Amino acid sequence: MNNTTEKIRMFQSSSPSQWRRNAEKRLANQEERRNARKIAMQMLDAMEKQGITESELAKLLKINNEELSSILKGHKLPSSDIKTDIESTLKIKLIS
């Protein structure tokens, strides 16, 4: 073996690389965030058309303002129960 190959093997990790798994996680997270932003836009449009404020919607949904704010900013997807409540309260069909 040549000297370069030996040096590379010296620094080679004994455990397999987590690069692919981490890249797949980032990709999945990207898609989830994209969906969260789409849902937020749907909700904001419906709220504007119906004249509903964020605090009013939080009361109607029986959730705290912080949780609703996170959903409306597109930082978080609503749980399935909250999603159902949003759809019935705002009379819209959210993306899946």
Domain 23-90 CATH (choose: 3.50.30.40, 3.30.9.10, 2.120.10.90, 1.10.260.40): 1.10.260.40
Q: Where are the domains of the chain?
A: 23-90
Please tell me the distance from the alpha carbon of residue 92 to that of residue 42, in angstroms, as a whole number.
Answer: 8
pLDDT of residue 13: 75
pLDDT at site 92: 97
Q: What does the pLDDT average to over 19-32?
A: 89
What is the predicted pLDDT for the residue at 1? 55
Which positions ≥6 away from 82 have C-beta within 8 Å?
61, 63, 67, 71
- In this predicted structure, what is the pLDDT of residue 14? 75
Mean pLDDT of the chain: 92
Q: What is the mean pLDDT of the segment spanning 52-59?
A: 98
